[in-house]
């Protein structure tokens, strides 16, 4: 399948998912911070909620699953060897390389995601006091972050936290060696030392249009990471003009980890925002970088994302996460109220728990329908109407993300602007 994503809202053709599995329960309150969670999840309920998301996506697009693709990669001896060498060296687990190399592909795929218990057979292992030789990938159901599809290119991200680096290595192997995808691959981890200041994650990368990219600059995507992406864009756009809009993000609270937690696209002329940051009077800059003829032609501060997009021909009506009340805005932003995922122009998936945000969507003309009703066929989202499809969200948001975080688009149809 040819990778092709030139917008955030083009009708979805294919998407990559990873349903939450045993890895999200392979933690305790003692190590929840290392897992980058604010709480521990009830897996059975999280799976029920995720099935709603999966069901809706299956009705509109081809769904690929990480576990299946990884098992296919591991059937290839050369790809298996390269991936395991990369993982074992980076995670100081070379003593387990032989054991992993000889595992059946399905079992190995499971271990690489759910974790590998350590052997306590040396003094070093005993004193290290770690249960896992390879930690579980607690965050992998947020498939958005480890790799980004932009046009026909997959950018494999250099993650901000070491506990998530294996996600990137797996995504790189899937794009290069699964045999399913036709795309060029750029791996930001190549030729980088462990302490490299270059880092970026997919939640901070929004493809507004084929000539406009929105980037968040915060705790997960560094200025050096953005410089890396801009340098690559200069190579690819050596003719014509390209625009990069950078939004600085606060270091706290932790719900501000990515740009898509405060800004997402809903339609050709609509977006969802967390108003205090995107339009409020605050210290966080919005910067416009213009690339012209393969070079950075200009870097300048602008009032806000909406103002610069309007100048570039994208006039967006903002739906405010949480509605008019500041208290509700903060509560619903915390529970990923701004983190919407568009399956087509004006057709989005969001959490049912954010009632004030849903009321705002209703006021803007969106028909609010449940995922269960869409999956069962009771409600249809075909046609030209605006729809907000709601997924139950009592457990999934505890991991720190919403519908956009949990989806990795592989192909979207082109949009006529």
pLDDT, tens digit, 9 for 90 and up, residues 72-99: 999 999 999 999 999 999 999 999 999 9
Q: Which of 121-135, 161-175, 309-323 bottoms out in mean pLDDT, i.e. has the lowest?
A: 121-135
Mean predicted confidence (pLDDT) in 260-284: 96
Per-residue model confidence (pLDDT) at position 191? 85
In this prediction, residue 30 has a pLDDT band, given cuts at 50, 70 and 90, of low
Structure tokens at 183: 């795309």
How far, in Å, are 124, 162, 212, 297, 348 from residue 145 at the CA level? Answer: 34, 13, 19, 29, 19
End-to-end CA distance of the chain: 25
So what's the architecture of 12-411 in CATH?
Answer: 5-stranded Propeller (3.75)
DSSP letter at 119 equals: P
Sheet strand arrangement including 270-273:
263-267, 270-273, 317-320
Give the pLDDT confidence of 398-407 residue by residue, as tens digits: 888 999 999 9
Nearest to 271 by CA among 355, 205, 206, 351: 206
Asked if pLDDT for residue 61 goes beyond 70, the answer is yes
In this prediction, residue 26 has a pLDDT band, given cuts at 50, 70 and 90, of confident
Burial class (CB in 10 A: 0-12, 13-18, 19+), 70: buried
Structure tokens at 289: 């970088």
In this prediction, residue 130 has a pLDDT band, given cuts at 50, 70 and 90, of confident
Per-residue model confidence (pLDDT) at position 87? 97
Which three-class secondary structure state does DSSP give residue 274?
coil
What is the overall mean pLDDT for the chain? 94
Mean predicted confidence (pLDDT) in 179-205: 93
Structure tokens at 181: 């995808």
Per-residue model confidence (pLDDT) at position 27? 66
The residue among 347 and 24 whose pLDDT is bigger is 347
Task: Go through the chain and tell me how many residues it has.
Answer: 417
Per-residue model confidence (pLDDT) at position 37? 54
Mean predicted confidence (pLDDT) in 201-209: 98
Q: Which of 29-43, 69-83, 370-384 bottoms out in mean pLDDT, i.e. has the lowest?
A: 29-43
Burial class (CB in 10 A: 0-12, 13-18, 19+), 15: buried
In this prediction, residue 39 has a pLDDT band, given cuts at 50, 70 and 90, of low
Asked if pLDDT for residue 35 goes beyond 80, the answer is no
Q: From CA 303, how far away is CA 307, in angstroms rounded?
A: 7
Mean predicted confidence (pLDDT) in 218-227: 96
Give the pLDDT confidence of 225-245 residue by residue, as tens digits: 999 999 999 998 888 899 999
Mean predicted confidence (pLDDT) in 115-140: 90
Asked if pLDDT for residue 316 goes beyond 70, the answer is yes
Per-residue model confidence (pLDDT) at position 41? 83
Mean predicted confidence (pLDDT) in 311-323: 98
Per-residue model confidence (pLDDT) at position 40? 74
Per-residue model confidence (pLDDT) at position 28? 61
Per-residue model confidence (pLDDT) at position 238? 81
Tokens 């970088």 belong to 289
Task: Parse the chain into domains and list their residue ranges.
Answer: 12-411
Mean predicted confidence (pLDDT) in 160-180: 95
Per-residue model confidence (pLDDT) at position 34? 52
Asked if pLDDT for residue 178 goes beyond 90, the answer is yes
Sheet strand arrangement including 212-217:
205-209, 212-217, 241-248, 286-292, 295-302
The DSSP annotation for 123-176 comes to: HHHHHHT-SEEE---TTTT-TTTTEEEEBTEEEE---SSGGGHHHHHHHHHHHH
Rounded percentage of the chain residues whose pLDDT exceeds 90: 85
Asked if pLDDT for residue 172 goes beyond 80, the answer is yes
Sheet strand arrangement including 12-17:
62-65, 12-17, 408-412
Per-residue model confidence (pLDDT) at position 186? 96
Q: Which of 106-110, 188-192, 272-276, 287-291 bottoms out in mean pLDDT, i.e. has the lowest?
A: 188-192
């Amino acid at each position: 399948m040819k990778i092709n994503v030139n917008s955030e809202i083009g009708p979805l053709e294919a998407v990559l998912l990873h349903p939450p599995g045993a890895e999200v329960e392979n933690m305790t309150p003692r190590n929840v911070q290392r897992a980058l969670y604010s709480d521990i999840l009830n897996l059975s309920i999280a799976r029920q909620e995720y099935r709603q998301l999966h069901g809706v996506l299956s009705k509109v697009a081809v769904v690929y699953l990480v576990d299946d693709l990884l098992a296919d990669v591991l059937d290839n001896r050369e790809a298996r060897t390269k991936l395991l060498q990369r993982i074992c060296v980076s995670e100081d687990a070379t003593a387990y390389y032989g054991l992993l190399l000889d595992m059946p592909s399905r079992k190995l795929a499971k271990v690489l995601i759910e974790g590998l218990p350590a052997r306590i057979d040396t003094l070093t292992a005993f004193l290290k006091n770690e249960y896992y030789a390879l930690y579980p990938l607690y965050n992998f159901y947020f498939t958005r972050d480890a790799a980004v599809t932009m046009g026909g290119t997959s950018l494999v991200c250099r993650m901000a936290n070491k506990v998530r680096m294996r996600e990137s290595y797996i995504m790189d192997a899937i794009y290069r060696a699964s045999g399913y995808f036709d795309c060029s691959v750029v791996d930001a981890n190549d030729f980088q030392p462990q302490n490299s200041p270059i880092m970026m994650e997919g939640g901070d990368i929004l493809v507004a249009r084929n000539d406009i990219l929105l980037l968040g600059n915060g705790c997960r995507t560094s200025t050096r990471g953005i410089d890396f992406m801009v340098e690559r864009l200069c190579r690819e756009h050596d003719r014509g003009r390209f625009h990069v809009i950078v939004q600085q993000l606060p270091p706290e609270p932790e719900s501000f980890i990515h740009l898509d937690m405060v800004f997402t696209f809903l339609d050709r002329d609509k977006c969802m925002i967390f108003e205090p940051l995107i339009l409020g009077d605050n210290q966080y800059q919005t910067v416009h970088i213009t690339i012209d003829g393969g070079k950075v032609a200009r870097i300048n501060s602008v009032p806000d994302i909406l103002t610069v997009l309007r100048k570039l021909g994208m006039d967006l009506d903002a739906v405010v996460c949480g509605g008019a009340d500041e208290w509700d805005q903060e509560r619903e932003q915390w529970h990923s109220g701004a983190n919407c995922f568009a399956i087509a122009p004006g057709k989005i998936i969001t959490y049912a728990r954010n009632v004030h945000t849903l009321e705002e969507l209703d006021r803007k003309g969106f028909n609010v329908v449940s995922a269960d009703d869409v999956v069962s066929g009771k409600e249809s989202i075909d046609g030209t109407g605006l729809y907000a499809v709601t997924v139950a969200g009592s457990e999934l948001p505890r991991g720190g993300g919403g519908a956009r975080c949990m989806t990795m688009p592989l192909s979207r149809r082109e949009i006529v602007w």
